[in-house]
Amino acid sequence: MKRFYYLVLFLFLFSFACNNSTQNNINTNIDNVNRELIHYNQEKYLKNIKQLTYEGDNAEAYWSFDDSKLVFQVKNSNWGANCDQIFITDTNNYSMRNEIPDLISTGFGRTTCSYFLPGDTTVLYASTHLSDSLCPPEPKRRDDGKYVWPIYSSFDIFISDLKGNIVQQLTNEDGYDAEATVSPIGDKIVFTSMRSGDLELYTCDLNGNNVFQVTNELGYDGGAFFSNDGKKIIFRASRPKTVEQRTEYKQLLSEGLVKPTEMELYICNVDGTGLQQLTFLGGANWAPFFHPSDEKVIFSSNHNSKKGFPFNLFMIDINGENLEQITYDTVFDAFPVFSNDGKKLVFSSNRNNGGTRYTNLFIADWVEDLN
């Protein structure tokens, strides 16, 4: 689940780079920031917001089945992660400003999209480490100015214990396999793969068996999550329609790239039937996650932004009605994930970062009458 804060930063045109002396000044600035900046007055569904991380790029935090732990990806050279690596922490660990949590990925290559498996003794994540121990290169800035994401063909999905020992390689097809999440009822995994020649969704059993192709339309299908009852899947997708759009999509894909600036949300049954487009908002709509009731989804969007940012969290009914804004940050809010008991929300945000590039994790009580 590629990280849209890179897009925000590209659009925002931050120009400084952090060195050791700058780092110290940045930390000082953060200490002096008004703590009220972690919670905007309009955010009525959020209460008792607490900041978990304070530097680097922290995103895609996912709960253990018992809600006691979070597994998340980090890019932070001070933690030894020069590109995304997977870390694990207790949900009530508020000491990550001064202490580095446990690394659970190998520390080699680049990783993404970690998720707990039932029993909370193993997690899955995607990694490029079998291809190269170094971080894969970022795409160069294009002459045509297009913002693109890399689709590394070296990504495969692995299962690790909580000590960082890989216990199984889940995929070994040629090409991109990543963006895996697990059904809350603990029976299936959904992931994105290039094995058909296009970026489609697939499901499989927890051991990798019984692979089933869910989507089959031209375009990028990714970032999928199951409903709480395990019956439906929500995901982001691009759907190039015109000849020009299709040509551009295919050309970029042949270069191992996608353009993520135009995506809408789609919903379907686990077997791919009943596929429907959920949003028609324009811009980038992504990082959807089912509300505890399974009657709504929460997601990130820049559809009402004039310059491509800010991204904020929104909620919409699964029939496409009753769109409602949830957060009100001035730059970036994304990756909202409800705890399994539905009482808390974890998300990533640029709020309270002292004007730096940092994207941090926040956790809040979710306050709502679910009846």
Going along the chain from its start, the domains and CATH numbers come out as: 5-366 (2.120.10.30)
Dihedral pair phi/psi, residue 35, rounded to 5°: -65, -15
- How sure is the predictor about 276, in pLDDT bands with cuts at 50, 70 and 90? very high
Q: What is the pLDDT of residue 20?
A: 33
Q: What is the pLDDT of residue 65?
A: 98
- How sure is the predictor about 370, in pLDDT bands with cuts at 50, 70 and 90? low
Q: What is the pLDDT of residue 140?
A: 87
Tell me the percentage of the chain whose pLDDT exceeds 90: 85
Query: Running DSSP on this structure, what letter comes out for residue 141?
Result: P
Q: pLDDT tens digit string along 323-338?
A: 999 999 999 999 999 9
Q: Cα 330 vs. chain centroid, distance in angstroms?
A: 19
**What are the E-state strand segments in 99-231?**
102-103, 111-116, 122-127, 149-150, 156-161, 166-169, 177-182, 188-193, 200-205, 212-213, 221-226
As a whole number, mean pLDDT of residues 96-108 equals: 97
Q: What is the pLDDT of residue 18?
A: 30
- How sure is the predictor about 141, in pLDDT bands with cuts at 50, 70 and 90? confident
Q: What is the mean pLDDT of the chain?
A: 91
Tokens representing residue 125 in the block = 């994540």
Report the alpha-carbon distance of residue 171 to residue 157 in Å, rounded.
Answer: 6
Q: pLDDT tens digit string along 207-239?
A: 999 999 999 999 999 999 999 999 999 999 999
Task: Give the Cβ contact number of residue 142 at 10 Å.
Answer: 13
Closest CA to 88 of 69, 113, 106, 108: 69
End-to-end CA distance of the chain: 32
Report the alpha-carbon distance of residue 52 to residue 332 in Å, rounded.
Answer: 16
Report the alpha-carbon distance of residue 256 to residue 274 in Å, rounded.
Answer: 30
Q: One-letter amino acid identity for 164?
A: G
